[in-house]
Chain A
Amino acid sequence: DAGVIQSPRHEVTEMGQEVTLRCKPISGHDYLFWYRQTMMRGLELLIYFNNNVPIDDSGMPEDRFSAKMPNASFSTLKIQPSEPRDSAVYFCASSLPGGYQHFGDGTRLSIL
């Protein structure tokens, strides 16, 4: 079991640039979740998918954020344009129905 795989592990970019974060869930998991972790707000759920379909995106902070899941083994979280306040660690997690969430090791994003 390779676990949830996220890339890149670190991203540093300038304000205004487009940022794309990637996630490969555990094979066979039907649910995929995107979280953001900051000191001020802790771990926040941004959006989650079931069988590649977005179910709840109420946690997405602004229209600058978008997420897609084109197939069962890949998801992206995109920020365009990026701002310094988007700096955080972004986690992807996956689960079976009714199962616990397995987290990846995150992408540390710094927007200068």
Chain B
Amino acid sequence: GENVEQHPSTLSVQEGDSAVIKCTYSDSASNYFPWYKQELGKGPQLIIDIRSNVGEKKDQRIAVTLNKTAKHFSLHITETQPEDSAVYFCAASSSGGSARQLTFGSGTQLTVLP
């Protein structure tokens, strides 16, 4: 089955700086890679996703890059703000059908220092 590794487990940055979180996956058939943000006491919320036919996707201050050859993908947050502080999870799905069975990374606790 799929295995997703995520690094780092904790990350502290100064407000305004950039944050980068990296994930690797094992199943070369994986074709969908979402990123979720989880705030304390809440469920994970999708912030951005990328499909395997795209190398990069950007949404305002958030971007995701995918390297299929190396089987890794990264989340980039620019101009970080205190409200970006949360736990971030990457995930991968190799489901061929319409149900995207996700395997999650272990999470990164991001702290943005004011």
Contact = CB atoms under 8 A, between A and B. Distances in A.
The SS class assigned to the B binding surface is: loop
B61 interface: no
B108 to A, nearest CB: 12
A25 interface: no
Which of B42, B45, B100 neighbours the largest number of chain A CB atoms within 10 Å of its CB?
A: B100
Interface string A70-112: 0000000000000000000001010101111111111000000
A12 interface: no
Nearest to B49: A100
Nearest to A30: B98
A57 to B, nearest CB: 12
A50 interface: yes
Please classify the interface of chain A as helix (H, G, I), strand (E, B), loop, or mixed, using the class held by over half of its residues.
Answer: strand
Interface residues of A, number: 23
B20 interface: no
Contacts of A99: 100
Interface residues of B, number: 20
Contact of B99 (A43, A48, A103, A105): A48
Interface string A37-80: 00000110100101000011000000000000000000000000
Interface string B16-37: 0000000000000000001010
A4 B43 contact: yes
Contact of A101 (B42, B100, B107): B100
Contact of B43 (A48, A55, A98, A105): A105
Interface of A: 4, 30-31, 42-43, 45, 48, 50, 55-56, 91, 93, 95, 97-106
